Amino acid sequence: MTAGSDRATFGKRLQDATVAHGPVCVGLDPHTPLLEAWGMGLEEFAATFVDAFAGRVSIVKPQVAFFEAHGARGYVLLEWVISALRESGTLVLADAKRGDIGSTMAAYAQAWLGDGSSLQSDAVTVSPYLGFGSLEPALARGPEHGVFVLASTSNPEGPQIQHATDPNGRRLSQLIVDECAAVNAGADGLGSVGIVLGATVAEAPDLSQLKGPILMPGVGAQGAGPDEVRKLAGGLPGVLPAVSRDILKAGPDIARLRAAAEKFNEDFAFLN
């Protein structure tokens, strides 16, 4: 991984943000039932979310699919959301789960991490299951950009691939963690290549050498809480419990949304 500028690394910016605002990553998932529950259209929902959290939480994770479902209108709004959050100092992790080969992966990297892109975010989620080397166009953007690699997810279909083993008996989920650790090996402080680890998985890969951030979806409505997070990754740097439904159900009242996020940050204060 080569540096592309003199900006602080994503790992450094993330550490500073979590110290200032807590470790919780707030999910932005504007699915239809939630829009109906809030009594709002997509644009008003997004504006309320930005008002509630811009400059007040460390990192926000827009689920790209829920914007993509609205076509060009959704993408235009997503561009505005990303820009507004980043201008406020809140980090943006685009949950796009992109993965492909060659020039296609390079185009994804430009879209989500490239300077000048209208979708440029601080970090993006990617899928390594076309081979870890296929992620090189994203990794080559440099440590100023965060990359979160799917490693051990909590969906029931995940183990079919993630628990398969290589010729040495190593699970593929562990191989992915080890590959990320190799990229982070020379980092000064927290590296910028992280993993996605479901907070509800029964057993985590060995994370001791990762030296990168850990995004942990599955907290709250999906059943995981501080005990599960502590068991899987407690004591490691850069752990980000990802919470969407259990915060967004407090809306559309802005004060209640902020209070819900603050409560989760209090619950996970041990991660700082």
Strands 146-152 and 214-216: unpaired
Active-site choice (97, 211, 249, 263) = 97
Residues 6+ apart with CB under 8 A from 189: 9, 11, 12, 15
Confidence check: pLDDT of 5 > 60: no
Q: Mean of the per-residue pLDDT values for the chain? A: 96
| pLDDT level of residue 4 (50, 70, 90 thresholds) | very low
Q: What confidence score (pLDDT) does residue 6 get? A: 57
The answer to whether 97 is a known catalytic residue is yes
* Per-residue pLDDT reduced to its tens digit, 191-209: 999 999 999 999 999 999 9
The type of residue at 30 is P
Confidence check: pLDDT of 2 > 80: no
* 105 dihedral zone (left: phi>0; alpha: psi -120 to 50; beta): alpha
What predicted TM-score, i.e. pTM, was given to this entire model? 0.96
Distance CA 194, CA 159 (A): 20
* Per-residue pLDDT reduced to its tens digit, 95-114: 999 999 999 999 999 999 99
Tell me the DSSP string of 137-186: HHHTT-TTSEEEEEEE--STTTHHHHT-B-TTS-BHHHHHHHHHHHHHTT
The domain limits of the chain are 10-265
Q: Does domain 10-265 have CATH number 3.40.50.2300?
A: no
